[in-house]
């Protein structure tokens, strides 16, 4: 199915969404390094085009599952920066009342079925959401974001097999950022393209440039059309790169010294900016305006998060169960 090439205004919209992710994660990393946030932060800097290209190809009523490196996915699916930042700060106003943190952002109303701290776990959950659409006769599509590392988990294969056998409306989007923590994927996997694994399940397996937002957008649009037409799942591998460490503070001794420079030149925001200016050299002012207004949005998000209250102590025992919570927590 042919999709229309995104025009100038669409590209500017993509650019705004990608800037939101870039600036959110840069700010989160900065705050974390200053000790203003607890726990761990996994940034997706360098991978913004995949999150935005994918989510822009979905409808608001569609669903995603995300990963431990999920800030970008959640922002791209419509997540509010302020509510996300509040969650990263562990505040009561966060998406999960401060109970989930960076790795567990969810907004079921936006179709975000949850980021996940277990590598690969979102893949079968997405397939299950797609099964629900099939059972209910709905037209929603569910997209699972996961990394190259997750493609070596058993549930990846189990979910692809069942989704294929039952023609479920699901898109498996592998963000191959080259590393599972410290281990380069080519050291532990004897195929060049994870997309090739689609052959084993007789579904389309597509490799795209994960730093090219339009390429991702087009691949996911086509996969979503297939899914909605009842033709089943698609595996898309978006080749991209994790600019920073697995976690903030990771010394990254496992990366070859000359590797990052080439990927910096292919920074998805640099590429998109150039594409916009090629289409319309007069768009520089608009690009600058986007950068400024996003900066304001992220600054406001931090202010909101910092000024928000922490959850009150009684909150620790709530939300374990829907029914009979008090008794079930007590004993």
Partner 1 sequence: MKTITYGQAVSEALREELLRDENVFILGEDMAVMGSVFGLTKGFLEEFGANRVIDTPISEAGFTAMAVGAALRGLKPVVEIMYVDFTPVCFDAIVNQAAKMRYMTGGQASVPLVLRCPGGAGRRNAGQHSQSLEALFTHIPGLKVIAPSTPADIKGLLKTAIRDDDPVVCIEHKLLYATKGEVPDGDCTIPLGAADIKRPGRDVTIIAWSRQVHSALEAARTLAGEGIDAEVLDLRSLVPLDWETLASSIAKTHRAVVVHEAVKRGGYGAELAAQIGEDLFDHLDAPVKRVAGLNVVPPFSPALEDFIYPNPGDIAAAVRQTLGR
135 binds partner 1 (CB under 8 A): yes
Judge whether 232 and 167 are in contact, CB under 8 Å.
Answer: yes
Task: Measure Cα distances from 221 to 24, 143, 280 in Å.
Answer: 26, 11, 25
Judge whether 47 and 77 are in contact, CB under 8 Å.
Answer: no
Site map for partner 1, 164-203, x if CB under 8 A? -x--------------------------------------
Cα separation of the two ends of the chain: 56
- H or E element at residue 136: helix 122-136
Sheet holding 170-176, edge to edge: 63-65, 142-147, 170-176, 234-239, 205-209
131 binds partner 1 (CB under 8 A): yes
β-pair partners for 237: 174, 207
The binder of partner 1 chosen from 104, 178, 228, 255 (CB under 8 A): 104
Nearer to partner 1, 22 or 68 (CB): 68
CB of 56 to partner 1, least distance (A): 23
99 binds partner 1 (CB under 8 A): yes
CB of 180 to partner 1, least distance (A): 17
38 binds partner 1 (CB under 8 A): no
Site map for partner 1, 52-71, x if CB under 8 A? -----------x-x------
Between CA 304 and CA 5 the distance in angstroms is 38
Residues in the site for partner 1, rule: CB under 8 A? Answer: 63, 65, 94-100, 104, 106-108, 113-114, 116-118, 121, 124-136, 142, 154-155, 158-159, 161-162, 165, 318-324, 327-331
């Amino acid at each position: 199915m042919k999709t229309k090439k995104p025009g100038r205004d669409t590209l500017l919209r993509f650019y705004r969404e990608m800037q939101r992710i870039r600036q959110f994660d840069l700010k989160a990393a900065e705050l974390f390094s200053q000790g203003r946030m607890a726990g761990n932060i996994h940034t997706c800097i360098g991978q913004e085009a995949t999150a935005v290209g994918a989510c822009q190809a979905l409808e608001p009523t569609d669903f995603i599952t995300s990963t431990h490196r999920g800030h970008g996915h959640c922002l791209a699916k419509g997540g509010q920066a302020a509510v996300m930042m509040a969650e990263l700060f562990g505040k009561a106003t966060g998406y999960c009342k401060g109970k989930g943190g960076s790795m567990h952002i969810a907004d079921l109303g936006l179709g975000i079925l949850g980021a996940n701290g277990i590598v690969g776990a979102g893949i079968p959950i997405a397939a299950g959401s797609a099964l629900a659409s099939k059972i209910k006769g709905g037209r929603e599509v569910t997209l699972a974001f996961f990394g190259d590392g997750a493609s070596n988990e058993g549930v990846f294969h189990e979910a692809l097999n069942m989704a294929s056998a039952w023609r479920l409306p699901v898109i498996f989007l592998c963000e191959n950022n080259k590393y599972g923590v410290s281990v380069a994927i080519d050291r532990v996997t004897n195929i060049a393209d994870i997309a090739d694994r689609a052959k084993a399940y007789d579904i389309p397996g597509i490799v795209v440039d994960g730093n090219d937002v339009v390429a991702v957008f087009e691949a996911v649009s086509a996969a979503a059309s297939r899914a909605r037409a009842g033709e089943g799942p698609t595996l898309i591998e978006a080749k991209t790169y994790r600019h920073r460490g697995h976690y903030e503070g990771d010394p990254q001794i496992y990366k070859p010294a000359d590797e990052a420079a080439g990927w910096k030149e292919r920074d998805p925001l640099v590429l998109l900016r150039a594409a916009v200016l090629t289409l319309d050299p007069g768009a520089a002012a608009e690009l600058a305006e986007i950068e400024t207004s996003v900066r304001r949005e992220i600054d406001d998000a931090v202010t909101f998060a910092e000024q928000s209250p922490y959850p009150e102590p009684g909150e620790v025992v709530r939300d374990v169960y829907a029914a009979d919570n008090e008794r079930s927590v007590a004993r």
